[in-house]
């Protein structure tokens, strides 16, 4: 039945009631015309008699706001105020409110279950709300059909833990097909070795992918003009290929360079998700040490990979990756050390060529090293593998043979990319 106020105007109903009061028309006819019951009819007559000038059949639906306990309301506003502080700090990579995070935080920290609309309603009422900015359109889209077809790799430099008062680098590798994050690590300093570690971690566990997708950072790509051939460099090699690229060349992995920042959109979206979660948790847990932040990062990565349904693929990243590997929808290849090399330390390493002098010595940043099995004037390829205890293993290769192995303190090598 269509409601009375949608079928008649105030004046039409008022006119009919006045005819009834003047006894011009009986009640039965009017009820049939208005299509209402006896109770409703007399309620309208009563309202007309009380104040005919303000008589109206229209009504305003009262919006009932569900009340919540005062302590819950207080915690919502406290979390929103924390969010606002983060947004206003230009050094922190937070530009909007994350109401879903607040909902999770209330459940985890305070054991309070609040609906997302309730949090948003309190945010709008108290001025904790920002309109969503227009998203820029990506001018290049990367489409893949296999796991391992393309690994998105990048780093981001932000104030991940504001209490630490220093920015850290987050290096991440993500499979474009499944959106599974293979590697995520925080570093105080961005170096070639830090990025090589990500290659080692991924390839030794999952195999060699078909290609890597990166930007034109100097660690990934030599660009004439920026890295001039005539400029004096303090690098490990005089070659134009950066250290990171040489590792991939040894593994026969294709490298694709993004033409613009917008083309890196797929890796930027997981970064945005990580930024939202990592920074907010570090603030609330008063994190000031990179090891604490790394622990939180690991928890967030596990949540992203194994629990959350990805907005694009509509699948949990791990399940999509596992399904692809189980059904051989993959371009990952088994990792094997390429002859004549003998160890993974010969592949995932830093490289430098030096000529042996008449005393069978080579020099690295004024550090003189004697090589026992190399002849004078021969070129040796030194492969340097840093070890966690502050040492570096130097493996000397000459004419396809391992001629010497030495361990040197990293500080004595004085290499800027370590």
Give the pLDDT confidence of 73-92 residue by residue, as tens digits.
999 999 999 999 988 888 78
Model pLDDT, residue 51:
87
Which is nearest to 109 in space by CA: 270, 281, 313?
A: 281
**Helix, strand, coil proportions of the chain in percent (round to 5)?**
40, 20, 45
Whether residue 244 is found in the same domain as residue 390: no
pLDDT at 177 over 90: yes
Tell me the pLDDT tens digit for each residue of 314-350.
899 999 999 999 999 999 999 999 899 999 999 999 9
Task: Note the Cα 195 to chain centre separation in Å.
Answer: 18
- Whether 145 is in a domain gets the answer no
Claim to verify: residue 174 and residue 321 sit in the same structural domain: yes
Domain extent for 349: 344-413
Nearest to 287 by CA among 135, 165, 105: 165
Do 116 and 34 fall within a single domain? Answer: no
Domain end position, chosen among 125, 143, 160: 125
Question: Considering the domain boundaries, does residue 364 fall inside one?
Answer: yes
Number of domains in the chain: 4
Query: What tens digit of pLDDT does each residue of 194-223 get?
Result: 999 999 999 999 999 999 999 888 899 876
pLDDT score for 223: 67
What is the predicted pLDDT for the residue at 217? 85
Is residue 159 domain-shared with residue 297, that is, in the same domain? yes
Q: Assign 63 a pLDDT band (cuts: 50, 70, 90).
A: low
* Claim to verify: residue 198 and residue 314 sit in the same structural domain: yes
Evaluate whether 219 touches 195 at the Cβ level (below 8 Å): yes
* Torsions phi, psi for 109 (to 5 deg): -85, -35
Is residue 399 predicted with pLDDT exceeding 90?
A: yes
Q: Which tokens hold the place of 339?
A: 């002859």
The answer to whether 206 and 181 are in contact (CB under 8 A) is no
- If pLDDT is split at 50, 70 and 90, which confidence band does 263 have? low
* Domain co-membership, 158 together with 215: yes
User: Domain for residue 201, yes or no?
Assistant: yes
Same domain flag for 90 and 205: no
DSSP 148-164: TS-EEEEEEEE-SSGGG
Q: What is the mean pLDDT of residues 385-408?
A: 93
Q: Are residues 22 and 92 in the same domain?
A: no
**In percent, how much of the chain has pLDDT > 90?**
53
Residues 42 and 76 in one domain: no
Can the peptide bond before residue 82 be classed as cis, meaning omega within 30 degrees of 0?
no
Task: Give the range among 2-16, 146-160, 356-370 with minimum mean pLDDT.
Answer: 2-16
pLDDT of residue 236: 47
Domain boundary, last residue among 326, 361, 392: 326
Cα–Cα dist 387/183, whole Å: 20
Do 216 and 290 share a domain, yes or no? yes
- Do 32 and 162 have their domain in common? no
Residue 290 forms part of a structural domain: yes
Token pair for 267: 């890796």
pLDDT category, 312, cuts 50, 70, 90? confident
Give the pLDDT band of residue 409 (cuts 50, 70, 90). Answer: very high
pLDDT surpasses 90 at 353: yes
Res 234: pLDDT = 45
CATH number of 261's domain: 3.30.420.10
Given a cut of 70, is residue 115 above it in pLDDT?
yes
The pLDDT value recorded for residue 254 is: 94
Nearest Cα neighbor of 176 from 263, 106, 110, 245 is 263
397/384 Cα distance (integer angstroms): 11
* Same domain (yes/no): 162, 113: no
| Whether this model's pTM surpasses 0.85 | no
Give the model's pLDDT for residue 383: 96
Has residue 146 been placed in a domain? Answer: no
Residue-by-residue DSSP string for 278-300? HHHHHHHTT--SHHHHHHHHHHH
Could you give the 3-state DSSP secondary structure of residue 360?
coil
**Residue 133 within a domain:** no
């Amino acid at each position: 039945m269509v409601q009375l106020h949608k079928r008649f105007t105030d004046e039409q109903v008022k006119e009919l009631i006045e005819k009834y009061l003047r006894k011009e028309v009986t009640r039965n006819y009017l009820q049939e015309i208005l299509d209402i019951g006896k109770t409703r009819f007399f309620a309208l007559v009563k309202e007309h008699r009380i104040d005919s000038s303000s008589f109206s059949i229209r009504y305003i639906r009262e919006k009932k706001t569900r009340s919540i306990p005062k302590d819950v309301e207080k915690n919502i506003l406290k979390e929103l105020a924390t969010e606002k502080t983060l947004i206003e700090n230009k050094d922190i990579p937070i530009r909007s409110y994350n109401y879903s995070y607040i909902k999770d935080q209330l459940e985890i920290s305070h054991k309070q279950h609040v609906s997302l609309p309730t949090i948003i309603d309190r945010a709008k009422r108290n001025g904790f709300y920002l309109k969503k900015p227009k998203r820029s359109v990506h001018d290049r889209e990367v489409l893949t059909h296999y796991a391992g077809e393309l690994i998105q790799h990048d780093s981001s430099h932000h104030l991940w833990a504001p209490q630490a008062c220093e920015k850290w680098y987050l290096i991440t590798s993500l499979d474009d097909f499944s959106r599974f994050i293979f590697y995520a690590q925080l570093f105080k300093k961005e170096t070639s070795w830090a990025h090589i570690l990500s290659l080692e971690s991924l390839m030794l566990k999952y195999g060699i992918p078909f290609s890597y997708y990166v930007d034109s950072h100097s660690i990934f790509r030599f660009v004439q003009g920026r890295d001039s051939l005539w400029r004096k460099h303090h690098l490990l090699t005089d070659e134009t290929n950066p250290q990171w690229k040489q590792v991939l060349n040894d593994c026969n992995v294709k490298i694709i360079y993004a033409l613009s920042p917008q083309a890196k959109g797929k890796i930027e979206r997981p970064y945005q998700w990580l930024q939202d979660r990592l920074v907010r948790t570090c603030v609330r847990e008063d994190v000031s040490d990179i090891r604490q932040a790394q622990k939180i990062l690991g928890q967030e990565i596990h949540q992203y990979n194994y629990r959350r349904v990805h907005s694009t693929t509509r699948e949990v990243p791990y399940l999509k990756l596992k399904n692809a590997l189980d059904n051989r929808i993959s371009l990952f290849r088994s990792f094997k050390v390429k002859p004549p090399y003998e160890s993974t330390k010969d592949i995932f390493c830093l490289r430098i060529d030096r000529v042996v002098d008449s005393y069978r010595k080579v020099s690295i940043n004024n550090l003189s090293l004697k090589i026992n099995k190399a002849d004078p004037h021969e070129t040796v390829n030194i492969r340097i593998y840093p070890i966690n205890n502050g040492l570096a293993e130097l493996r000397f290769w000459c004419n396809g043979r391992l001629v010497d192995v030495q361990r040197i303190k990293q500080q004595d090598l004085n290499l800027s990319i370590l």
